[in-house]
Chain A
């Protein structure tokens, strides 16, 4: 089992949106009523930081996204999303 993290580029934004959607859509629908794709996409893209986000790779394939922020007092995991199946993650 080989898990790897790689840095992201702008071409990864769509993948990050898709794994975020796979992970969060049902929660957002339960909380706010609906998943408005163009709004969620806009917010998601705006929140992506090239310096903190990493793509999680499993056996060489992109499967999820991780974001970690480093502070003097602590390290904060701000995002951890993974696509559970090919059906959920389109790339």
Chain B
């Protein structure tokens, strides 16, 4: 597609990138002949969330004084979207540079050390990038200088939580997503999520493939939260054992088992480079010896609830085999009911189930069935993210089960109408939900 792009004050020279959502051009700023890169949203009418992400990446990156990131110069209106004008240092994406081929160990270490250093500086500024991957890392092919790009979903919050969403609409890139970013780990997202994605990127740089590869988004989510990644040494036997251990540590499922600081990782990479330079190979050494966290992080591991979690998981196994059960978890506010219930995420993903929850609390006492309504509205949101084929199956199942009560349920759960369409009025709402629910 050849559309002439014009932006007042800039001479567009060439297209650097054309993705499904964005376009990047190389240009010259007429006022001072400065070489710039201009990123545009591809859609004629970008969605509101795309516009917000564009603003976020500009607002966040312009306040960072880090040489390892691409500096944004300005954010300019462009048609019904924005044009992000950034520095152009002649880089290409690491993905383009490596052409998805395994990198030699010495070249990999040069890249890995720089990346770790950039991440250290970013984390020092309390920024979580949240989308580390080779496509978001630029490299200058001659100097091998690296710079990080795309802060669209980056965060300044020390900790974030992700709601359970259909994997098709999760923020970030599924192949590189940390377990907690899937929203199914019962853990918040913090700076250590970047270490997981960095581990996946290292794996790809060394082997030419990502550790988990699947066309099924839910399968990928399951891999991230439950499956052990293959060892890089098994994929490529020339890679030293210790390198495999470093990547395994970066990709630990629980953030507390990963590196706790980029400096700890940097130290281990330095040892690798030293050994490679001095003796031509990398001998095994204990990793993480200089890995000390520079911040106070309260662990999110659940303690003292093993029995309750076991009861829930056993219940889920029975239900997954066809039984129907109803479980109530009661307790004072703040005692940790939600944390216990959320522990069933992993087996649910394994069984391709849906997790929904509703909560009765003291502020919603006047709303009948509020917890059920909340839970089923959530379910409708998840179903709407499914493929057309699955939606059709759900539509048929729901209509069969609801019969003439369909419109009554739509009145309570409006999202249902988007799945089964408007129904004729009839029936009355009883104080129980029909079969499919």
Stretch from A1-9, A54-62, A72-80, A82-90 that touches the partner: A72-80
Inter-subunit contact A32/B80 (CB<8 Å): yes
Residues of A within 8 A of B42 (CB): 78
Q: Bound state CA distance, A40 and B80, in angstroms? A: 8
Inter-subunit contact A47/B44 (CB<8 Å): yes
Inter-subunit contact B44/A44 (CB<8 Å): yes
Inter-subunit contact B4/A31 (CB<8 Å): no
Q: Is B296 an interface residue (CB 8 A)?
A: no
Looking at chain A's contact residues, is the secondary structure mostly helix, strand, loop, or mixed?
helix
Residues of A within 8 A of B2 (CB): 49
A14-54 at interface with B (beta carbon < 8 Å): 20, 24, 27-28, 31-32, 40, 43-44, 46-47, 49, 51-52
Closest residue on chain A to residue B21 by CB atoms: A76
The verdict on A31 contacting B1 (CB below 8 Å), with A24-B45, A43-B79, A74-B20 known, is no
Q: Bound state CA distance, A43 and B80, in angstroms? A: 9
Closest residue on chain B to residue A51 by CB atoms: B1
Q: Is B51 an interface residue (CB 8 A)?
A: yes
Q: Bound state CA distance, A47 and B80, in angstroms? A: 12
Inter-subunit contact B51/A49 (CB<8 Å): no
Closest residue on chain B to residue A69 by CB atoms: B1
Closest residue on chain B to residue A24 by CB atoms: B45
Q: Bound state CA distance, A43 and B79, in angstroms? A: 7
Inter-subunit contact A31/B20 (CB<8 Å): no
What's the nearest-Cβ distance from chain B to residue A47, in Å?
Answer: 5
Inter-subunit contact A27/B45 (CB<8 Å): yes
Q: Bound state CA distance, A65 and B3, in angstroms? A: 18
What's the nearest-Cβ distance from chain A to residue B217, in Å?
Answer: 15
Q: Is B326 an interface residue (CB 8 A)?
A: no
B21-62 at interface with A (beta carbon < 8 Å): 42-45, 48, 51
Q: Bound state CA distance, A43 and B77, in angstroms? A: 13
Q: Bound state CA distance, A20 and B48, in angstroms? A: 17
Inter-subunit contact B3/A46 (CB<8 Å): yes
Closest residue on chain A to residue B20 by CB atoms: A76
Q: Bound state CA distance, A69 and B80, in angstroms? A: 20
Inter-subunit contact B51/A31 (CB<8 Å): yes
Q: Please list the residues of chain B having a beta carbon within 8 angstroms of any beta carbon in chain A.
A: 1-4, 20, 42-45, 48, 51, 79-80
A-B interface, 6 closest residue pairs, ranked by CB to CB distance from nearest = A43-B79, A47-B44, A24-B45, A49-B1, A76-B20, A69-B1
Contacts beyond the supplied A76-B20, A78-B42: 8 A-B pairs with Cβ under 8 Å: A28-B80, A43-B44, A43-B79, A43-B80, A51-B1, A52-B1, A74-B20, A79-B44
Please, could you name 14 A-B residue pairs with CB atoms under 8 Å apart, sorted by A? Answer: A20-B44, A28-B45, A28-B80, A31-B48, A31-B80, A43-B80, A47-B3, A49-B1, A51-B1, A52-B1, A69-B1, A78-B42, A78-B44, A79-B44
